[in-house]
Amino acid sequence: MIKPHGSHVLTPLLVEDMARLKALRAEAQGLPSLVVSSATAANAVMLGAGYFTPLTGFMNKADILEVAQKMQTTSGLFWPVPVANLTSDTHGVEVGSRVALRDPNVSGEPVLAIQTVSAAETLTDKDVDEICQSVYGTTDDAHPGVATFKSQGKTVLSGPIEVLNLSYFETDFPETFRTAGQIRDEISNRGWKTVVAFQTRNPMHRAHEELCKMAKDAVHADGILIHMLLGKLKPGDIPADVRDAAIRKMVELYFPPNTVMITGYGFDMLYAGPREAVLHAVFRQNAGCTHLIVGRDHAGVGDYYGAFDAQTIFDDSVPPGALEIEIFRADHTAYSKKLDRVVMMRDAPDHQKEDFVLLSGTRVREMLAAGEDLPVEFARPEVARILMKHYADEAS
């Protein structure tokens, strides 16, 4: 199986030894507490679940700046985005001490992890702007990723962590949430050697369905990992439970048996476009996938990124050999009226715009909110019904 990134073995930071876990829970009761941001909690979950192998905790200021500017840590590890514990509240936190990190996303704010604080450093306004410009391609506060980054505070608390639980993801999504190790085990149990991953924060329409099948055929994959984000999104995005139901129905009815794994991971969306696409590649390699589909405006938002910037970054900025996972480059997909099937538009040079069924995300949401049927060329009827029910429930 493909090796984890930067390591021969997966290094999840979730404490699974029950004696150690009991000791840490007892220790946490006497430690200073810090209610972290949702972004920091998501980083802790990804560290705990092994997705951020080989990191051992939160980055210091030097590593954050180096990763932002050069996509590598000061030790030379290739890494595309900072993994930080940013805060504006350092009450009771001392360098060299241990602190209980509390989960803002769970009722009662239970302890999520314990961190040994190696350093407490301050980002300047210039640092913040440089990080945002490098990672998000903008300093615009209207960008949801930039807004989230700037809202967390400017104090960097770095150091190793031990993760006590995986937040709300295991309880809210027991059939879907999986750690990187669990996915690797399942891939091994199925005997799959070549696995193509599909990243999604949205329900999957006909074009997404066919794209997965095209990629599987193109790379001669044994199976497909549909890997959905289960964490926080921007307002207006479809909630995770609705996406989960829609994707499961599509796979049940329209994919051959035993060719798809439906899973999810516990992370908040960054909307960092090209940089986030590279992060997606890193943690899909950690999950045991050999290929990642990268499509048009992958992980993008608004008009901040070019349509295929998330593909060209792998040519321009990822050093040879930095990743073992390979990228399947997808064009915009749409239903061809001429061919009566979904195609990648680059493969239909004889088509005009009117030969395709094209619906914008905005138009789809408008139709769903109005209770209108989506064209069968765009969405499977069974999937569309699940989405229509969600919008109807939201409106009532």
Q: Provide the pLDDT confidence category of residue 362 given band limits of 50, 70 and 90.
A: low
Class of domain 18-170: alpha beta
Which of 18 and 378 is assigned the larger pLDDT? Answer: 18
Rounded distance between C-alpha atoms, residue 178 and residue 176, angstroms: 6
Give per-residue pLDDT as tens, 20-43: 999 999 999 999 999 999 999 999
Query: Mean pLDDT, to the nearest integer, of 348-375?
Result: 80
pLDDT, average across residues 76-89: 97
DSSP helix, strand, coil percent of the chain (3-state; round to 5): 35, 20, 45
Beta bridge partners of 224: 196, 260
Tell me, what's the pLDDT at 342? 85
Tell me how far apart the alpha carbons of residues 173 and 245 are, in angstroms, rounded to a whole number: 11
What average pLDDT does this structure show over 155-180? 97
Residue-wise pLDDT for 3-14, tens only, equals 999 999 999 999
Mean pLDDT of the region 53-64: 98
* Residue 310, pLDDT score: 96
Q: So what's the pLDDT on residue 360? A: 61
Kindly report the pTM of this predicted structure: 0.94
Give me the phi and psi of 58, to 5 degrees please. -85, 140
In this prediction, residues 325-334 reach a mean pLDDT of 90
**What are the residue ranges spanned by the domains of the chain?**
18-170, 176-395
pLDDT band of residue 282 (cuts 50, 70, 90) is: very high
Residue with the bigger pLDDT between 377 and 195: it is 195
Mean pLDDT, rounded, for 261-286: 97
Share of the chain above pLDDT 70, in %: 99
CA distance 36 to 156: 12
**Catalytic member of 25, 190, 201, 385:** 201
Active-site residue, 363 included = no
Residue of higher predicted confidence among 176 and 374: 176
Cβ of 181: how many Cβ atoms within 10 Å? 21
Q: What is the dihedral of CA 346, 349, 352, 354, to 10 degrees?
A: -50
Q: Do domains 18-170 and 176-395 have the same CATH topology?
A: no
From the list 324, 323, 328, 290, the residue with the least C-alpha distance to 311 is 328
Tell me how far apart the alpha carbons of residues 18 and 196 are, in angstroms, rounded to a whole number.
35
204/225: higher pLDDT? 225
Mean pLDDT, all residues of the chain: 94
Cβ neighbour number for residue 151 with a 10 Å cutoff: 13
Say which CATH topology domain 176-395 has.
Rossmann fold (3.40.50)
- pLDDT at position 50: 98
Give, in degrees to the nearest 5, the angle at Cα 51 between 49 and 52.
110
* Active-site residue identified among 85, 98, 189, 202: 202
The three-class DSSP label of residue 294 is: strand
Is the distance from CB of 272 to CB of 282 less than 8 angstroms?
A: no
- Highest mean predicted confidence (pLDDT) among 54-58, 336-340, 347-351: 54-58
Catalytic site residue 286? no
| CA distances, 288 to each of 197, 230, 326 (Å) | 10, 19, 12
Cα angle for residues 122, 127, 129 (degrees, 5° grid) = 135
SS3 17: coil
Q: Which residue has the tokens 């090796």?
A: 3
Residues 6+ apart with CB under 8 A from 291: 194, 195, 196, 197, 215, 219, 221, 325, 326, 327, 328
Which of 48-62, 217-231, 289-303, 370-384 is predicted with the least confidence, judged by mean pLDDT? 370-384
pLDDT band, residue 361 (cuts 50/70/90): low
Please tell me which residue, 7 or 233, carries the higher pLDDT value: 7
Tokens 């040079």 found at:
349
Return the pLDDT at 316: 95
How far apart, in whole angstroms, are the C-alpha atoms of residue 343 and residue 114? 49
